[in-house]
Amino acid sequence: MICQLNSSRVWLLLILIFALFLRLNAAFSYPNILWPDEIFQTLEQGHRLAFGHGMIPWDFRDGIRSWLFPGILGGIMKLTAGFSEGASGYLASVKIFLSLLSLIPVWIGFSIAYESIGLAGAILTGGICAIWFEFIYFAPKAFTEVMAAYSLLVGVYLGCYGKNPPSRQRLYWTGFFYGLTTYLRFHLLPAIAIALIYQVRQKNFPQLLPLALGFIGPVLLGGALDAFTWSTPFQSIWKLIWINIFEGKFNSFGVSPWQQYFTWLALNWSWWLFPILVFCAIAARRHWILALLALVIILSHSFLGHKEYRYMFPALPLIIILAGLGIATLVSRLSLMRGSLAGKTIVIFSSLLLWAFLSWLLAGRFNTDQTFNFGPPWQKPGYTHWQTHGGQLQAYEYLSSEKKLCGLGVKGLAWQYTGGYAYLHQDVPIYFLKDNQNFEELQPYFNYLLFNQDTAAVGDYQREKCFNGTCVYRRSNSCQVNPNYHINQYLKEAGE
């Protein structure tokens, strides 16, 4: 038993190292933007805390976002800013930090499978979580929804699995992670309520006080943080609800039909959706709580008019872990794990290779913006999310160490799909140019220009370097001071 336990730890470590390698490789090789919030609600505000300057979008002007996650990112930026010139050092540190957190679904999947099926099942389930393309894509993303997904998953594992009855310490940490999830994304409260009901009915709780204390702690601290950073306790929650429901602000960004999340799953997973559902159904007989929580998350978000794929991310680890458990259960029932060591190895790694190949195919068609087309996994769209707006991020990061930069003009690009000061780092004015007349009027105030067009020159600006279609242009003259302009005043006047 001790030998098997040590062996499980070795396997878990190997899988985690491999998963981290995949995530870091993707994070540094494929810079991209899925949605502006991953920059301007988190990284940009962290940069503003750490270095004193940054862009302020409407939701931070209105005080409807928590400073918890941006504060953590800002601390990492401040501590690691000296690792390199410009923004590269602290951006790398943030990517590594977020990629390490993204190993949580791998660890949880491995642990649940080990407790219920054994080491072979744990290797299968953990390996599947390690190589699933969506987990790799979202790993370096600074989305609050992604952080809430990890927190919820830890709470579900601590509360729904393990020894019965659970220890007081385990109860406390279960409540803590549910409370943290509530503060990070209160939209997950229906799933948390279902998980708590399940725990109370399934497990012999000696007392609920540790669970309640664990839950209340991060919630109260979050409320106090809002009171300190804004004006009232829990402002990032109640004001967000008010603006969303009573003022309809979020619906102005677009309204989707109720079935949109199911449509996205079919679009992203293609024909592989059906085997995943079959594997989930096999595992759901024993792990039905995972299936129920995933369904509750998707359905509860389906009632909201404005939908984004990242909102349903907390359901994805539950689904993929369940699918991994289903594969492991199926293989175990077919007695394929009871043969020789060589036979077990062939079965496990053949399954993982097949899953890796399909994950690679699906990654190559990952595009939630395309018109729905339930085509085969190898059918490619015009572009994928792996490359979108990556050139802008690379150009901003390149300019972060350019000492001659005194002002930046951005022509033909929306500010929402740039890197902000989190990537530019330098405290210089940024001008977003709407047309040629605007360009002519403002060019005395910037000596560098970003333009999504590869030409030798743009007016007096000569091409210096290009990044995936986004080119940096420079003129030799210095910048004039514009006392009547500030980027945040520009955003405020635009209502953005």
User: Bridge-partner residues for 465, per DSSP?
Assistant: 472
Domain-embedded: residue 222: yes
Query: Which residue range forms the structural domain that includes residue 281?
Result: 1-30+63-364
Phi, psi of 204, deg, nearest 5: -90, 85
Q: What total of structural domains would you count in the chain?
A: 2
Q: Which amino acid is at 147?
A: M
3-class DSSP assignment, residue 156: helix
Domain-embedded: residue 384: no
Q: In which residue are the tokens 């919820």 written? A: 152
> Among 364, 398, 413, which residue terminates a domain?
364
CB contact at 8 A, 422 and 39 = yes
450 plus 322 within the same structural domain: no
Write the DSSP string, 318-345: HHHHHHHHHHHHHHHHTTTTSS-HHHHH
100 plus 5 within the same structural domain: yes
Domain-embedded: residue 45: no
85 plus 174 within the same structural domain: yes
360 plus 394 within the same structural domain: no
229 plus 322 within the same structural domain: yes
pTM of the model: 0.94
351 plus 482 within the same structural domain: no
The contacts of residue 16 (CB under 8 Å, 6+ apart) are: 103, 106, 107, 130
Distance in angstroms (rounded) separating the CA atoms of residues 404 and 474: 10
Residue 405, sorted as left (phi over 0), alpha (psi -120 to 50) or beta, turns out to be beta
Domain-embedded: residue 328: yes
Q: In which residue are the tokens 């099926």 written? A: 117
421-436 exposure pattern, b = at least 16 Cβ within 10 A, e = fewer: bbbbbbebbbbbbeee
Domain-embedded: residue 258: yes
344 plus 416 within the same structural domain: no
Looking at residue 4, what is its pLDDT? 53
3-class DSSP assignment, residue 219: helix
Distance in angstroms (rounded) separating the CA atoms of residues 486 and 167: 56
> Among 321, 346, 364, which residue terminates a domain?
364
Start-to-end Cα distance in the chain:
60
CATH of the domain at 454: 3.40.190
Domain-embedded: residue 205: yes
99 plus 190 within the same structural domain: yes
Looking at residue 21, what is its pLDDT? 98
Domain-embedded: residue 376: no
Whether cis (ω within 30° of 0) applies to the bond prior to 165 is yes
> Among 323, 347, 364, which residue terminates a domain?
364
470 plus 429 within the same structural domain: yes
Q: In which residue are the tokens 């690679």 written? A: 360
**How many CA atoms are closer than 13 Å to the CA of 121, on its beta-carbon side?**
27
356 plus 416 within the same structural domain: no
Distance in angstroms (rounded) separating the CA atoms of residues 246 and 484: 36
226 plus 343 within the same structural domain: yes
414 plus 348 within the same structural domain: no
Domain-embedded: residue 333: yes
Continuous segment of H or E residues that includes residue 120: helix 119-131
Per-residue pLDDT tens listing for the chain (496 residues): 445 557 889 999 999 999 999 999 999 999 999 999 999 999 999 999 999 999 999 999 999 999 999 999 999 999 999 999 999 999 999 999 999 999 999 999 999 999 999 998 999 999 999 999 999 999 999 999 999 999 999 999 999 998 777 888 999 999 999 999 999 999 999 999 999 999 887 766 667 889 999 999 999 999 999 999 999 999 999 998 888 777 767 666 778 888 999 999 999 998 999 999 999 999 999 999 999 999 999 999 998 888 899 999 999 999 999 999 999 998 887 765 556 667 777 888 888 999 999 999 999 999 988 776 777 776 777 789 999 999 999 999 999 999 999 999 999 899 999 999 999 999 999 999 988 888 999 999 999 999 988 888 888 999 999 999 899 999 998 999 998 899 999 999 888 7
